[in-house]
Structure 1
């Protein structure tokens, strides 16, 4: 199935040729299907949203499935803490058609995944799961921090990771990392030199309600339309509730009738 979607070797060839890669974070089948129809190269889908239907909706897109960082495991109802739990979860998602697996856990866990021939995506720069160490800010604006990013990049290469999300890193640092590493750099707020440009659907479509990142760009202002739909939905629900309370629903047109003689027969039967 999905024979036309790209492979890791295809993405590496695109990097080598200097072709730009488009990437979106999606949460619904409708978003995934729209991305596929638009010819988006890569999708990022969190494990909690990924299933066989989502994979089908994603069509020919290369799908990176996000493994939860210490998050809820779909297999055994526990938090993912060990390499074996991460591996079992990745294999489960692989069986559903996942092409690669985002993992920001420790090097040893990422290496275990890579050693088992899974395509692993790491994370460089602003890593949300490490936020207690850095805060919500650009990472790599000092010489020492930029050097640390380079060392991290080298370590990811060494353990077998094939790509990395490169998030909120100065553009010249991002360019150096991209041009001097075999990793496919999935840039989010990392300037134009990253191999891929990666945005969240909520930013692209303008319906996000969270903080708008500097690197976000709105291509369609769907926020007002979605709010109007939600307002109509709420109004419909209120009208339904009021109709129930007033006894207006259900009416005769919503009710199944029974003939009088049949009802009389029923009463005779149960009372007898």
Structure 2
């Protein structure tokens, strides 16, 4: 029996009762794998959602496209973008822009996921790539940010690299559906990037990431095989081992004689 794609009402109804799974996927293949594996929620590039094959590959995934705010523009630009995403079957949209921009979309009944804690596009304000909310004062600031998102009409929020005690306390005190990225099990969903799970990330591995496969090594092996195959092709051409008769088409002998006669006449 196929799964039904959850609605906003469904997610609100299970808040605090169970944890869902969430991935950032970048390709159609990853989306299909997430669907088949039983992942609940995915964050995806907008272009992937607009792929006509997307919903065939991922019919039951609660799908949330997102871009950094500087890629989209003003609040009005966000509203137009959000409408386009919803028309293309988005279940919610991610927005790291201002609370005013989030409110502008929420006022149009767009389900919006905000962001608190470590926000990559704003990391200079919180000291770079590091945990946020480790002091009582900064933890209260995160709670206040969540309250602002609530007041703006957001549906949920990603809470990234925040102490587990802080994230759990906030999740228990908010109606927002809280997506934990490195913020512990006290939230409503556990969120990882597919590239970390698959081991394709060759850069820094965040503390919260967990590697389940080593795709990077497999990609290296496949690249070596590409080079080897191309090299063999070069050698075959140079030694005239390619093409063989099975790779080419020959003319019937009687037609060849007629053709040669025409060549001589011309």
**Is 1:107 aligned to residue 121 of structure 2?**
no
The runs of 5 or more residues in structure 2 that have no matched partner are none
Q: Match for residue 218 of structure 2?
A: 225
CA contact (8 A) 1:203 1:217 kept: yes
Query: Measured at CA, do residues 84 and 251 of structure 1 come closer, stay the same or move farther in structure 2, by a change above 3 Å?
Result: farther
SS in 2 for 1:5: coil
Residues 232-241 or 205-214, more deviating = 232-241
Q: What CA deviation, in whole Å up to 9, does each residue of 1:194-236 have, x standing for no partner?
A: 1110111122223321211111112334443333223223322
Please, which of 212, 219, 230 is the counterpart of residue 237 of structure 1?
A: 230
Matches of 2:34 and 2:236, distance apart in 1: 41
Please, which of 111, 135, 142 is the counterpart of residue 149 of structure 1?
A: 142
SS in 2 for 1:52: coil
What is the CA-CA distance between 1:242 and the residue it aligns to? 4.6
Please, which of 164, 184, 187 is the counterpart of residue 194 of structure 1?
A: 187
**Is 1:19 aligned to residue 18 of structure 2?**
yes
Residues 101-110 or 246-255, more deviating = 246-255
Q: Match for residue 70 of structure 2?
A: 70
* Correspondences of 1:201-216 after superposition (within 5 Å): 201-216=194-209
The runs of 5 or more residues in structure 1 that have no matched partner are 72-79
Query: Measured at CA, do residues 189 and 267 of structure 1 come closer, stay the same or move farther in structure 2, by a change above 3 Å?
Result: farther
SS in 1 for 2:15: helix
Q: What is the aligned-residue RMSD (CA, Å)?
A: 2.4
What is the CA-CA distance between 1:246 and the residue it aligns to? 5.6
Matches of 1:138 and 1:250, distance apart in 2: 61
SS in 2 for 1:186: strand
Query: Measured at CA, do residues 3 and 22 of structure 1 come closer, stay the same or move farther in structure 2, by a change above 3 Å?
Result: closer
Matches of 2:124 and 2:109, distance apart in 1: 32
CA contact (8 A) 1:55 1:96 kept: no
CA contact (8 A) 1:44 1:65 kept: yes
What is the CA-CA distance between 1:250 and the residue it aligns to? 3.9
CA contact (8 A) 1:124 1:167 kept: yes
When the two structures are aligned, how many residues end up with a matched partner? 261
In our comparison, the structure showing a higher alpha carbon Rg is: 2
Matches of 1:113 and 1:248, distance apart in 2: 64
CA contact (8 A) 2:28 2:48 kept: no
Q: Match for residue 76 of structure 1?
A: none
SS in 1 for 2:69: coil
Query: Measured at CA, do residues 132 and 268 of structure 1 come closer, stay the same or move farther in structure 2, by a change above 3 Å?
Result: farther
SS in 1 for 2:209: coil
TM-score (norm 2): 0.88
What is the CA-CA distance between 1:244 and the residue it aligns to? 4.7
CA contact (8 A) 2:92 2:112 kept: yes
Q: Match for residue 179 of structure 1?
A: 172
What is the CA-CA distance between 1:245 and the residue it aligns to? 5.6
